[in-house]
Structure 1
Amino acid sequence: MPVKTKVVCRGCRTSTSNASGYCDACRDQAGTKRRTKKGDPFYWSPQWLRFRDWYRKKSPLCEECKADGKLVPMDVVDHIVELKDGGAPLSEDNVQSLCSHCHSKKTARAKREREGLCESPPTSPAQPFGSQNLPLAKLGRGGIEKGGSHEQG
């Protein structure tokens, strides 16, 4: 019979061979925490769980990464317009598959927008000062050059 590899428990850092990554005590606690997590009860409803599983099979790659030419497995079926912002809960047009990284970025951006901290899209690196037209220094062979003319001597 094969021997199970020991790993460090993700909860208390002791040694365990459970596939979950938790020792028996921490696994029971982790399950309790998850079931009692505060949040919208909609996400535990049979309708959402069926819809989520169906969409996960339909779109198994992160849609943001895929648009950038990367093939990354999805982790989350995300509401494009969050439910608390009035998004449709079971509409295929209001969900997308995202990896954890893209989902975290999107959620943080939505939270900033909701709190009024981000009223417009961030400026591009080419225009770090927004719409101000500030003179930019030019880099020539001799170093930084101010203004538009390059004096040679």
Structure 2
Amino acid sequence: MPKRPDTPCKHPRCAKLVPYGASYCEEHAPLHIHDVKSTKEKGYDSRWRKARKRFLKSHPLCEKCFDKGKLEKAKVVDHIIPHRGDQELFWNETNWQPLCKPCHDRKTMTVDRYQEFKY
């Protein structure tokens, strides 16, 4: 089976090639180790999963769909105001809303899209 071609390093103005699947060359990799954090590091741990489950049990319908007159089951607990790492805002239940996956994705890609996340 043929090997996939190497790809350019994703660091700005770096033309070095890296193996397929790697993002950065050896020189720039240490600069980007904190770029992507796991969901657990962002606060979505077992405590969040329990709170999410409880919230969806008491708020089973998507709020956006309900406003349009549709009854759609909520699958996601959305932070109305993105928490951006603020733990007080993260756990404030008045900042939560139940949404179906399409409504959540739409909101995330339009309203929340170009904000800087700090965790």
Please state which band the TM-score falls in when normalised by the shorter chain: 0.5 to 0.7
Q: Which structure ranks higher in relative contact order (CA pairs < 8 Å, sequence separation ≥ 6)?
A: 2
**Per-residue deviation, 1:85:** 6.8
**Per-residue deviation, 1:96:** 0.5
Residue identity matched to 1:104: D
Give 1:34-113 correspondences, 5 Å limit. 38-41=38-41, 42-44=43-45, 46-84=46-84, 86=86, 88-109=89-110, 110-112=112-114
Instruction: State whether residues 79 and 94 of structure 1, in contact with CA within 8 Å, keep that contact through their aligned partners in structure 2.
Output: yes
Instruction: State whether residues 61 and 73 of structure 1, in contact with CA within 8 Å, keep that contact through their aligned partners in structure 2.
Output: yes
Bigger Cα Rg: 1
Residue identity matched to 2:93: E
Residue ranges of structure 1 left out of the alignment (5+ in a row): 1-36, 116-153
**Per-residue deviation, 1:38:** 2.6
> TM-score normalised to the size of structure 1?
0.45
**Per-residue deviation, 1:65:** 0.3
Q: Which aligned runs of 4 or more in structure 1 are off by greater than 6 angstroms? A: none
Relative distance call for 1:68 and 1:85 in structure 2 (3 A) is farther
Per-residue displacement from partner, 1:31-76 (whole Å, max 9, x unpaired)? xxxxxx83353102x3212211110101011000001110001110
The whole-number CA distance in structure 2 between the counterparts of 1:104 and 1:40 is 20
The whole-number CA distance in structure 2 between the counterparts of 1:70 and 1:54 is 23
Identity %: 36
Per-residue displacement from partner, 1:119-150 (whole Å, max 9, x unpaired)? xxxxxxxxxxxxxxxxxxxxxxxxxxxxxxxx
**Per-residue deviation, 1:108:** 0.6
Residue identity matched to 2:52: R
Residue ranges of structure 2 left out of the alignment (5+ in a row): 1-36
Per-residue displacement from partner, 1:89-134 (whole Å, max 9, x unpaired)? 111111001011100111011113x27xxxxxxxxxxxxxxxxxxx
Structure-1 residue corresponding to 2:6? none
Size of the aligned set, in residue pairs, is 77
The whole-number CA distance in structure 2 between the counterparts of 1:85 and 1:111 is 16
Residue identity matched to 2:98: S
